[in-house]
Every structure is written in structure tokens, then in C-alpha cells.
């Protein structure tokens, strides 16, 4: 059996895995797991990932969860170009540093803003209060400043002059607020230039293709979600953005 990747491209970790595999011509079978239909909770999927999360990988009898672990596994197994996860000790440490930091910072704050702007109005019938939204936006702005000053600095990419896994993961996460209508690149020229470099490195068409479902999230309406799932999902979303 060949490599299978279980993905839903509305999820940013899934998009990062998908783009990396496609841009490196890694052969895999795309197994779609629709989160809105709770296919990640099925008995069949739990045989692949008992944590009931996507992305998930199945390579023969070997299974793996967590997007960062999957990206590193793919980079090592398929011996992708060195710049993705550099053999140079210091460059690799820079990649590891960002991947260790990003979970509750860039990914966490970007996802929170996305949920607030794109999902709360759909699930509750009214937008989040301006005061609450302003606070969540400021949380993201703080980590964006850290990203520019600490991780990107004056380099072309996070680990130096070439794209790495850190750049791919970062940009995919930062596209979440963009898809909800918050253009965080507009007043940040250095960040906008870095975005163009990352997109060009992986291929603009591939990058856009991977984000198509997410960019269409505004067309989501409650009637497209099963009633029993809607209530559970609403509870999860409101818990994510806080009281």
C-alpha cells in the first residue's frame, strides 16, 4: 500500500501538508475527511488516528498524526531538497525554533481571529462585539510584530536565503485571517514581500488551489451543517474565542 494522507483543506495544518507533498512531487492518495460532517469521528477514521484529528498519515501499516510530525516524516523519507529542513545545524535550529513557537502564537492568534470574523456570525447569527474583535486583532498584531522582528528580521526567509518548512507553516497560518477579510499584509510591506517569495517558491497556482475551500468559507451557512453537529460546533467555536 502507498502513502495515504487524510486531509480537509479547510484546516490550515492540512493545507501545509498538502502543499508540501504536492510541491515536492511526493506520491500520495488524498483521503478527504470532512470536518463539518464529523468524518474525523467515525470508527473507520479512528483506526487511522485515534485522536480523531486531521491531518493524518498512513504509510503501509504505519500511521502518524500531528502536522509538524507529518511534515518532518515526509521531508526525511522522501529526501526532499535540503532547504526544507536544513542539514546545517544552526539553520535547522531556526526552523525548529519557529515550529516550536508558532502553535499558540501565530497559529493560535490567527485562528482565533478567523473564528471570530468568519464563523461566529454564521453560528450565532450576529457578529462578535467590536470591542472583543479589537482585542483579538491586537493579540494577532503583537505576535505578527514578534514574527517580523525575531524570526524574519531582514532575511529572505526564516532560516536564511531559502524557503523552509517554517515559512510554509507560517504563511498557511497567516492566510486564515485573510480568508475572513482581514488583510494583515496590507500595511506590512516586509511581510507582504516575504509572502510573495513563499508563494513563488511553492508555486502560486498550487498555493491558491490549496486555499480555495478556505477562501470560500464566507459562503458557509448554518443549513449546510447538520443540526446535531451545528450545536456542538457552535459550543466549540464560542469556547475558542472566550466569553
Buried b / exposed e across 63-96, counting CB within 10 Å, b at 16+?
A: ebbbbbebbbbbbeeeebeebbbbeeeebbebbb
pLDDT in tens, 97-128: 999 999 999 999 999 999 888 888 877 778 88
pLDDT at 155: 98
pLDDT at 38: 85
Which of 80, 99, 118 is the last residue before a domain boundary? 80
Check which CATH number belongs to the domain holding 19 and give it: 3.40.30.10
Same domain, 226 and 152: yes
The answer to whether residue 187 scores a pLDDT higher than 90 is yes
Same domain, 93 and 66: no
Same domain, 71 and 120: no
Q: What is the mean pLDDT of the chain?
A: 91
Same domain, 151 and 217: yes
Same domain, 163 and 63: no
Average pLDDT over residues 201-226: 78
Q: Give CA–CA dist 77/219, Å, rounded.
A: 39
Q: Which three cell numbers stand for residue 89?
A: 545545524
Structural domain including 67 reads 3-80
Which of 80, 112, 143 is the last residue before a domain boundary? 80
Same domain, 75 and 114: no
How many domains does the structure of the chain reveal? Answer: 2
Amino acid at each position: 500500500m502507498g502513502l495515504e494522507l487524510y486531509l480537509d483543506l479547510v484546516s490550515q495544518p492540512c493545507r501545509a501538508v498538502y502543499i508540501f507533498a504536492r510541491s515536492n512531487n511526493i506520491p500520495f492518495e488524498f483521503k478527504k475527511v470532512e470536518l463539518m460532517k464529523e468524518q474525523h469521528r467515525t470508527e473507520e477514521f479512528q483506526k487511522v488516528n485515534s485522536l480523531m484529528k486531521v491531518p493524518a498519515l498512513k504509510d503501509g501499516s504505519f500511521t502518524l498524526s500531528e502536522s509538524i510530525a507529518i511534515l518532518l516524516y515526509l521531508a526525511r523519507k522522501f529526501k526532499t531538497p535540503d532547504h526544507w529542513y536544513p542539514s546545517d545545524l544552526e539553520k535547522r535550529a531556526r526552523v525548529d525554533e519557529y515550529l516550536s513557537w508558532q502553535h499558540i502564537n501565530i497559529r493560535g492568534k490567527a485562528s482565533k481571529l478567523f473564528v471570530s470574523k468568519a464563523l461566529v456570525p454564521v453560528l450565532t447569527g450576529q457578529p462578535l462585539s467590536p470591542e472583543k474583535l479589537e482585542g483579538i486583532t491586537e493579540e494577532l498584531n503583537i505576535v505578527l510584530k514578534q514574527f517580523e522582528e525575531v524570526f524574519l528580521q531582514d532575511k529572505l526567509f526564516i532560516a536564511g536565503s531559502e524557503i523552509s518548512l517554517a515559512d510554509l507553516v507560517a504563511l498557511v497560518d497567516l492566510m486564515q485571517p485573510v480568508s475572513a477579510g482581514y488583510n494583515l499584509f496590507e500595511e506590512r510591506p516586509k511581510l507582504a514581500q516575504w509572502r510573495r517569495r513563499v508563494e513563488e517558491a511553492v508555486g502560486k497556482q498550487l498555493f491558491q488551489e490549496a486555499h480555495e475551500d478556505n477562501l470560500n468559507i464566507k459562503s458557509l451557512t448554518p443549513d449546510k451543517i447538520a443540526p446535531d453537529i451545528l450545536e456542538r460546533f457552535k459550543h466549540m467555536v464560542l469556547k475558542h474565542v472566550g466569553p
